[in-house]
Structure 1
Amino acid sequence: MSDTMGWVPAEVNPDVPSVARIYDYLLGGSHNFEPDRAMADKLLAVQPNVAGIARNNRAFLRRVVQFMVQAGVRQFLDLGSGIPTAGNVHEIAQHAAPGSRVVYVDYEGVAVAHSKLLLAGNADAAVLQRDVTRPDDVLNADETRSLIDFSQPVGVLAITIGHYLPPACDPVGVFACYRNAVASGSFLALTHLTDDFTSLHGDEIVETMKSTQNNVFPRTRAQVLELFGDFDLVEPGLVTTSQWHPDYSMAPAVDPQEDGLYAGVAIKP
């Protein structure tokens, strides 16, 4: 992708690396700028497995959506959805269960612009440019209310979004707002960077990310568990990405720390 493409929103500063675009690059996408690629290279220098961590995280998302569809969920709220890449939530869900509805939420301009292009003509999916730390803005948006019936189960996806929420925004309270908004039988799936894994070089990742639009806040296992509130974790509980319901497409990491992220799914009683 050329860094001068005319579709890039005017408010986007291509000189400041963005997590959404770095993630896109690590997954082999083309919707990123040179500063994003340079930052990804810095992260690779700190943690050579960072691309593998991204791929395992994406594979977890695919398995989670399939799991929720099999459980009867037909509507999804994807928080911090990022730049569209192969295997998006609506593609997975609508392939398995035509008519499934998806609302994507992100505040990064390039992510939202590409999502709108991808979703053109899809009446069962929409993207919101909103800050996920303002749940009322997300939950009460016209697009959300037109696609999501909150009296029925919802699959809430918070994949690698929690560790971008600073303590000052009360992540536990933010997650509680989304949990409280959904009906019994709804699911919450999340992945979260942790500083429990010494081999991850978390401190160096945190320091490196300070020069991007998004600081990182790793959390302990106990802190990540708090985000699920009173939802019941489904088996195998809070593990790491490749350890959660692995399938034929990938083997679990020999050392779970290689995944770099806690991962889990919980259901609302």
Structure 2
Amino acid sequence: MSEQGTPAEVIDTSRPHPARMYDYFLGGRDNYEVDRAAAERVIEIIPDALPSARANRDFLRRAVRTVVVGGIRQILDIGTGIPTSPNTHEIARESAPDVRVAYVDNDPIVGAHAAARLTSEGSTGFALADVRSPETVLGDPVVRELIDFGQPVALLLVAVLHFIQDEEDPAGIVATLTEALPKGSCLVLTHGTQDFHQHVEGDANEVYQRSTASLTVRPHDGIAPFFDGYELLDPGLVQVPLWRPDAPLPDVDELRRVAFYGGVGVKE
């Protein structure tokens, strides 16, 4: 057993996991040698992986603050990854201390860290589930305990859907999750793209294929339909540094290094 009660046999440290690779990109320490090697290979192919990951994290902070200031008091954060402070609930509670957060991830190691760092906070919980099975996510007892689907919810799908292949129907997954949300709920979504890296040598997807999830980056017009049924808040679906920046914008060359689109929509 792990220290948090996760059975050791379900924790696979022989293959890299995107959540632990992302932790490495953010400068975290909750990763294994296999994750670090895979992440370094991605950085070798796409040096802009680091600024992209960090810009994506900054977007998360701004987006969570925006939806909470707008009145949201419950958040379903799917694909949360290794807890990296400030976490979603910490950001949210800067504006509203009563926000409830249900974290969801499919990695048992994330679950072990969540038990130590997230679920001890009160009004937070962790569910071990996979976004590929949205009905299971929605029906999880932890999710049901924390989230009242009769009231507006902020659904966070941050850096998640590019790990869902086309044949796994990412649009259908989002639609199923959306159907469970009442009017006034929000979708906070970011997605990797190659729109700004058309001439990258090598294929980072080859690295992810050897991990527990393959990578499917999409263009702007392949990401925008995920917001069907939502009204996008200004400035729409844009490169993440351009979404309601609270610091000086990067210059053109720095902006070109960010391979994520992001947006926030309100369910109509």
Listed as ranges, the gaps of 5+ residues in structure 2 are: none
Quick check: 1:21–1:33 contact (8 Å CA) kept in 2?
A: yes
For residue 266 of structure 1, what is the amino acid of its counterpart? Answer: G
Please point out which of 230, 237, 251 is paired with 2:249.
Answer: 251
Quick check: 1:153–1:184 contact (8 Å CA) kept in 2?
A: yes
For residue 122 of structure 1, what is the amino acid of its counterpart? Answer: E
Q: Structure 1's 184 and 161: CA in aligned 2 closer, same or farther, altered over 3 A?
A: same
Give the corresponding residue for 2:228.
Answer: 229
Give the corresponding residue for 2:210.
Answer: 211
Give the corresponding residue for 1:32.
Answer: 31
Cα separation, 2, equivalents of 1:202 and 1:209: 16
Give the corresponding residue for 2:142.
Answer: 143
User: Which SS does the other structure have where 1:232 is aligned?
Assistant: strand
Quick check: 2:197–2:259 contact (8 Å CA) kept in 1?
A: no
Quick check: 2:48–2:257 contact (8 Å CA) kept in 1?
A: yes
Q: Structure 1's 42 and 203: CA in aligned 2 closer, same or farther, altered over 3 A?
A: closer
Cα separation, 2, equivalents of 1:13 and 1:43: 20
TM-score by length of 2: 0.93
Aligned-pair identity (%) = 38
Cα separation, 2, equivalents of 1:260 and 1:117: 32
Cα separation, 1, equivalents of 2:226 and 2:203: 25
Matches within 5 A, 1:189-208: 189-199=188-198, 201=200, 204-208=203-207
Report how far residue 9 of structure 1 moved.
4.6
Give the corresponding residue for 2:17.
Answer: 18
Residues 184-235 of structure 1: per-residue CA shift (max 9 Å, x gap): 1111011111232235738611222222111001112111011111211110
Give the corresponding residue for 2:133.
Answer: 134
* Residue 113 of structure 2 is aligned to residue 114 of structure 1: yes
For residue 244 of structure 1, what is the amino acid of its counterpart? Answer: W
- Please, which moves more after superposition, 105-114 or 250-259? 250-259
Listed as ranges, the gaps of 5+ residues in structure 1 are: none
- Please, which moves more after superposition, 195-204 or 231-240? 195-204
Q: Structure 1's 203 and 153: CA in aligned 2 closer, same or farther, altered over 3 A?
A: farther
Cα separation, 2, equivalents of 1:108 and 1:9: 12
* Residue 181 of structure 2 is aligned to residue 182 of structure 1: yes
For residue 61 of structure 1, what is the amino acid of its counterpart? Answer: L
Q: Structure 1's 209 and 120: CA in aligned 2 closer, same or farther, altered over 3 A?
A: closer
The Cα RMSD (Å) is 1.7
Cα separation, 2, equivalents of 1:185 and 1:155: 9
Quick check: 1:77–1:104 contact (8 Å CA) kept in 2?
A: yes
TM-score by length of 1: 0.93
Residues 89-110 of structure 1: per-residue CA shift (max 9 Å, x gap): 0111123211100001101111
Quick check: 1:47–1:201 contact (8 Å CA) kept in 2?
A: yes
Q: Structure 1's 253 and 21: CA in aligned 2 closer, same or farther, altered over 3 A?
A: farther
Give the corresponding residue for 2:265.
Answer: 266
Cα separation, 2, equivalents of 1:120 and 1:243: 32
Cα separation, 2, equivalents of 1:95 and 1:27: 22
Cα separation, 1, equivalents of 2:63 and 2:39: 26
Cα separation, 2, equivalents of 1:9 and 1:262: 36
Quick check: 2:158–2:189 contact (8 Å CA) kept in 1?
A: yes
For residue 92 of structure 2, what is the amino acid of its counterpart? Answer: A
User: Which SS does the other structure have where 2:19 is aligned?
Assistant: helix
User: Which SS does the other structure have where 1:115 is aligned?
Assistant: helix
For residue 94 of structure 1, what is the amino acid of its counterpart? Answer: R
